Copies of this chain bind each other. A is one copy, B any other.
Amino acid sequence: MAQQFDSINESVTKYVAFEASELTYFNSILTYKRVPKKTFLLQAGEVCSIEAFIIKGCARVYYVNEHGTEVILQLAIEGWWLSDIASFHEQTPSKLYIETLEACELWILTPTTKELLLKSMPKFERFFRLLVQRNLSVMQNRLCQTIAQPAQEKYLDFISRYPSLPQRVPQHYIASYLGISPEFLSKIRKKITKK
Protein backbone atom coordinates (compact mmCIF):
# COMPACT_ATOMS: atom_id res chain seq x y z
CA MET A 1 0.00 0.00 0.00
CA ALA A 2 2.85 2.39 0.82
CA GLN A 3 3.80 2.96 -2.78
CA GLN A 4 0.21 3.92 -3.41
CA PHE A 5 1.06 7.24 -1.79
CA ASP A 6 3.98 7.92 -4.08
CA SER A 7 2.05 9.45 -6.92
CA ILE A 8 -0.08 11.76 -4.79
CA ASN A 9 2.85 12.85 -2.65
CA GLU A 10 4.91 13.58 -5.70
CA SER A 11 2.01 15.57 -7.06
CA VAL A 12 1.55 17.78 -3.99
CA THR A 13 5.24 18.43 -3.53
CA LYS A 14 5.34 19.75 -7.05
CA TYR A 15 3.42 22.76 -5.74
CA VAL A 16 4.56 23.13 -2.14
CA ALA A 17 7.58 21.73 -0.28
CA PHE A 18 6.32 19.47 2.49
CA GLU A 19 8.25 17.59 5.17
CA ALA A 20 8.01 13.81 5.30
CA SER A 21 6.07 14.06 8.55
CA GLU A 22 3.57 16.43 6.99
CA LEU A 23 3.02 14.04 4.11
CA THR A 24 2.54 11.16 6.48
CA TYR A 25 -0.20 13.04 8.24
CA PHE A 26 -1.73 14.06 4.94
CA ASN A 27 -1.74 10.45 3.82
CA SER A 28 -3.43 9.34 7.03
CA ILE A 29 -6.35 11.63 6.20
CA LEU A 30 -6.97 10.09 2.78
CA THR A 31 -9.46 7.33 2.06
CA TYR A 32 -8.64 4.75 -0.57
CA LYS A 33 -11.37 3.82 -2.99
CA ARG A 34 -11.60 1.44 -5.89
CA VAL A 35 -14.46 1.80 -8.36
CA PRO A 36 -15.37 -0.13 -11.51
CA LYS A 37 -15.74 1.25 -15.01
CA LYS A 38 -18.82 3.34 -15.83
CA THR A 39 -19.45 4.36 -12.24
CA PHE A 40 -20.82 7.76 -11.30
CA LEU A 41 -18.85 9.56 -8.61
CA LEU A 42 -21.28 12.47 -8.90
CA GLN A 43 -24.60 13.11 -10.62
CA ALA A 44 -26.35 16.41 -11.33
CA GLY A 45 -28.60 17.37 -8.46
CA GLU A 46 -26.42 15.77 -5.82
CA VAL A 47 -24.06 17.66 -3.57
CA CYS A 48 -20.48 16.79 -4.41
CA SER A 49 -18.99 15.00 -1.42
CA ILE A 50 -15.57 14.15 -2.77
CA GLU A 51 -12.37 15.56 -4.04
CA ALA A 52 -10.64 12.61 -5.64
CA PHE A 53 -7.06 12.11 -6.82
CA ILE A 54 -6.71 9.52 -9.57
CA ILE A 55 -4.05 6.94 -8.75
CA LYS A 56 -5.01 4.77 -11.68
CA GLY A 57 -7.72 4.99 -14.29
CA CYS A 58 -9.60 7.55 -16.26
CA ALA A 59 -12.80 9.59 -15.89
CA ARG A 60 -14.83 12.34 -17.44
CA VAL A 61 -16.55 15.36 -15.92
CA TYR A 62 -19.45 16.66 -17.94
CA TYR A 63 -22.44 18.93 -18.01
CA VAL A 64 -25.80 18.31 -19.66
CA ASN A 65 -27.69 21.40 -20.75
CA GLU A 66 -31.42 21.92 -21.08
CA HIS A 67 -31.47 20.59 -24.66
CA GLY A 68 -29.84 17.35 -23.50
CA THR A 69 -26.48 18.18 -25.04
CA GLU A 70 -23.45 16.92 -23.16
CA VAL A 71 -20.37 19.09 -22.75
CA ILE A 72 -17.25 17.42 -21.40
CA LEU A 73 -15.44 19.75 -19.02
CA GLN A 74 -12.61 17.44 -18.15
CA LEU A 75 -11.04 14.21 -19.30
CA ALA A 76 -8.88 13.12 -16.39
CA ILE A 77 -6.26 10.42 -15.95
CA GLU A 78 -3.64 9.46 -13.36
CA GLY A 79 -2.38 12.45 -11.42
CA TRP A 80 -5.47 14.62 -11.88
CA TRP A 81 -8.07 15.63 -9.35
CA LEU A 82 -11.81 15.15 -9.81
CA SER A 83 -14.46 17.27 -8.14
CA ASP A 84 -17.08 19.93 -8.55
CA ILE A 85 -15.32 22.40 -6.31
CA ALA A 86 -18.19 24.87 -6.10
CA SER A 87 -20.64 22.20 -5.01
CA PHE A 88 -18.10 20.59 -2.69
CA HIS A 89 -17.30 23.77 -0.81
CA GLU A 90 -20.63 25.48 -0.68
CA GLN A 91 -22.52 22.23 -0.24
CA THR A 92 -24.88 23.18 -3.04
CA PRO A 93 -26.39 20.84 -5.64
CA SER A 94 -24.06 20.24 -8.55
CA LYS A 95 -24.89 20.55 -12.23
CA LEU A 96 -22.15 18.12 -13.20
CA TYR A 97 -21.66 14.42 -13.71
CA ILE A 98 -18.45 12.60 -12.94
CA GLU A 99 -18.19 9.14 -14.46
CA THR A 100 -15.31 6.70 -14.59
CA LEU A 101 -14.34 5.52 -18.05
CA GLU A 102 -12.05 2.81 -16.73
CA ALA A 103 -11.82 1.04 -13.39
CA CYS A 104 -10.25 3.56 -11.03
CA GLU A 105 -8.21 3.69 -7.88
CA LEU A 106 -8.69 6.92 -6.00
CA TRP A 107 -7.58 8.87 -2.98
CA ILE A 108 -10.61 10.61 -1.51
CA LEU A 109 -11.09 13.75 0.54
CA THR A 110 -14.54 14.61 1.89
CA PRO A 111 -15.60 18.07 3.09
CA THR A 112 -15.00 16.87 6.65
CA THR A 113 -11.57 15.36 6.11
CA LYS A 114 -10.45 18.26 3.94
CA GLU A 115 -11.51 20.76 6.55
CA LEU A 116 -9.69 18.73 9.17
CA LEU A 117 -6.58 18.70 7.02
CA LEU A 118 -6.71 22.45 6.44
CA LYS A 119 -7.31 23.16 10.13
CA SER A 120 -4.43 21.04 11.31
CA MET A 121 -2.05 21.90 8.50
CA PRO A 122 -2.82 25.33 7.07
CA LYS A 123 0.06 24.87 4.66
CA PHE A 124 -2.35 22.83 2.58
CA GLU A 125 -4.42 25.94 1.94
CA ARG A 126 -1.57 27.03 -0.26
CA PHE A 127 -1.41 23.72 -2.07
CA PHE A 128 -5.08 23.78 -2.91
CA ARG A 129 -4.91 27.40 -3.95
CA LEU A 130 -2.11 26.62 -6.40
CA LEU A 131 -3.98 23.58 -7.63
CA VAL A 132 -7.09 25.61 -8.40
CA GLN A 133 -4.99 28.32 -10.00
CA ARG A 134 -3.53 25.81 -12.38
CA ASN A 135 -6.99 24.56 -13.25
CA LEU A 136 -8.07 28.10 -13.91
CA SER A 137 -5.15 28.64 -16.27
CA VAL A 138 -6.00 25.48 -18.18
CA MET A 139 -9.61 26.64 -18.43
CA GLN A 140 -8.62 30.06 -19.72
CA ASN A 141 -6.46 28.56 -22.42
CA ARG A 142 -9.24 26.24 -23.39
CA LEU A 143 -11.80 29.00 -23.62
CA CYS A 144 -9.51 31.01 -25.92
CA GLN A 145 -8.99 27.94 -28.06
CA THR A 146 -12.65 27.08 -28.17
CA ILE A 147 -13.65 30.55 -29.23
CA ALA A 148 -10.91 31.49 -31.64
CA GLN A 149 -9.64 28.31 -33.26
CA PRO A 150 -11.16 26.26 -36.08
CA ALA A 151 -12.01 22.67 -35.20
CA GLN A 152 -8.99 21.11 -36.87
CA GLU A 153 -6.52 23.23 -34.94
CA LYS A 154 -8.34 22.48 -31.72
CA TYR A 155 -7.97 18.79 -32.39
CA LEU A 156 -4.31 18.99 -33.34
CA ASP A 157 -3.62 21.00 -30.24
CA PHE A 158 -5.49 18.49 -28.14
CA ILE A 159 -3.55 15.47 -29.33
CA SER A 160 -0.23 17.24 -28.90
CA ARG A 161 -1.19 18.31 -25.38
CA TYR A 162 -2.67 14.97 -24.31
CA PRO A 163 -1.13 12.36 -26.60
CA SER A 164 -2.20 9.43 -24.45
CA LEU A 165 -5.90 10.25 -24.34
CA PRO A 166 -7.00 9.38 -27.88
CA GLN A 167 -5.84 5.82 -27.24
CA ARG A 168 -7.78 5.57 -24.00
CA VAL A 169 -11.09 7.36 -24.44
CA PRO A 170 -13.77 6.96 -27.13
CA GLN A 171 -13.44 9.47 -29.89
CA HIS A 172 -16.87 11.02 -29.46
CA TYR A 173 -15.89 12.10 -25.95
CA ILE A 174 -12.97 13.99 -27.39
CA ALA A 175 -15.34 15.61 -29.87
CA SER A 176 -17.55 16.70 -27.00
CA TYR A 177 -14.53 18.04 -25.12
CA LEU A 178 -13.59 20.09 -28.17
CA GLY A 179 -17.13 21.28 -28.73
CA ILE A 180 -17.61 19.68 -32.13
CA SER A 181 -19.82 16.86 -33.42
CA PRO A 182 -18.41 13.32 -33.52
CA GLU A 183 -19.12 13.11 -37.25
CA PHE A 184 -17.15 16.22 -37.94
CA LEU A 185 -14.21 15.04 -35.85
CA SER A 186 -14.18 11.87 -37.91
CA LYS A 187 -13.98 13.94 -41.08
CA ILE A 188 -11.17 16.04 -39.68
CA ARG A 189 -9.18 12.92 -38.85
CA LYS A 190 -9.65 11.61 -42.33
CA LYS A 191 -8.40 14.84 -43.81
CA ILE A 192 -5.35 14.84 -41.55
CA THR A 193 -4.27 11.28 -42.31
CA LYS A 194 -4.57 11.91 -46.03
CA LYS A 195 -1.67 14.33 -45.86
Contacts and interface: CB of A to CB of B under 8 A. Distances in A.
Interface of A: 63, 65, 67, 69, 71, 73, 85-86, 89, 118, 122, 125-126, 128-130, 132-137, 139-140, 142-144, 146-149, 179
Contacts of A67: 148
Tell me the interface secondary structure of chain A in the complex.
helix
Contacts of A148: 63, 65, 67, 69, 71, 179
Nearest to A134: B86
- One complex includes copies of this chain to the number of 2
Contacts of A89: 130, 133
Given A89-B130, A122-B122, A140 B73 contact: yes
Contact of A144 (B73, B136, B144): B73
Given A129-B125, A132-B129, A146-B143, A137 B86 contact: yes
Contacts of A128: 129
Which 9 pairs show the lowest CB-CB distances between chains A and B? Answer: A125-B125, A147-B179, A129-B129, A86-B137, A139-B139, A132-B132, A63-B144, A65-B148, A136-B136
